[in-house]
Amino acid sequence: MVGIIMGSISDLKVMQEAIDILKEFGIDFEIDIVSAHRTPEKMVDYGKNARLRGLKVIIAGAGGAAHLPGMIASLTTLPVIGVPVKSSNSIDGWDSVLSILQMPSGVPVATVALNGARNAGILAAQIIGTSDTTVGTKLEQYKEDLKVKVAEMSLEAQKMNAIK
């Protein structure tokens, strides 16, 4: 249901967080290495046929020049979520962030934070959850669990303050 693509296997360390959260929500996904620069024909095929294969959302991670998310978005009508990856050849990740963020009008890419694959997975789940009640219910529970975690941290902080 969700396509997770990245420009290089080295991006998998970051993209694993999207994989993990989709597993947590019980959402099917596929993973592939699709390089905008080294395998442009594969990228075109992937983008043009994503909907036919049953995908609903694509998460695309890329570092450096980070053309993959935008190029995929130019080839499909599916929502594309871009994950800028801080790679060994990047300018502290800013090149990736700006390459994904600054898309021209008509070719949107939802962009998450640098190395923010977990949020990309959550956003993909939210998109799917608009029409899948099971996923929507799991998201509601996830948000409630976040509130509980913050309340627990608040109590812990208050205890630490009382000790002083």
d(CA 73, CA 107) in angstroms, rounded, equals 6
| Count of domains for the chain | 2
The angle subtended at Cα 26 by Cα 22 and Cα 29, nearest 5°, is 55
Average model confidence (pLDDT) across the chain = 95
Answer yes or no: do 45 and 107 share one domain: yes
Pick the more confident residue, 163 or 135. 135
Answer yes or no: do 8 and 39 share one domain: yes
Q: How confident is the model at residue 164 (pLDDT cuts 50, 70, 90)?
A: low
- Whether the predicted pLDDT of 163 surpasses 80: no
Answer yes or no: do 27 and 52 share one domain: yes
Residue 43's H or E segment, with its range, is helix 40-49
* Helix (H), strand (E), coil (C) string for 121-135: HHHHHHHHHCCCHHH
Answer yes or no: do 102 and 152 share one domain: no
Q: What is residue 57's three-state secondary structure?
A: strand
Answer yes or no: do 117 and 154 share one domain: no
d(CA 103, CA 111) in angstroms, rounded, equals 10
Answer yes or no: do 88 and 138 share one domain: no
Q: Is 11 annotated as a binding residue?
A: yes
The angle subtended at Cα 13 by Cα 79 and Cα 118, nearest 5°, is 45
Answer yes or no: do 148 and 115 share one domain: no
Answer yes or no: do 71 and 140 share one domain: no
Predicted model pTM: 0.94
CA 15 to chain centre: 7
Answer yes or no: do 98 and 156 share one domain: no
Please report, for the domain that includes residue 57, its CATH number.
Answer: 3.40.50.1970
Answer yes or no: do 42 and 117 share one domain: yes
d(CA 123, CA 116) in angstroms, rounded, equals 11
The angle subtended at Cα 109 by Cα 120 and Cα 33, nearest 5°, is 65
Q: Is 53 annotated as a binding residue?
A: no
Answer yes or no: do 59 and 87 share one domain: yes
Answer yes or no: do 127 and 141 share one domain: no
Domain that holds residue 150: 133-164
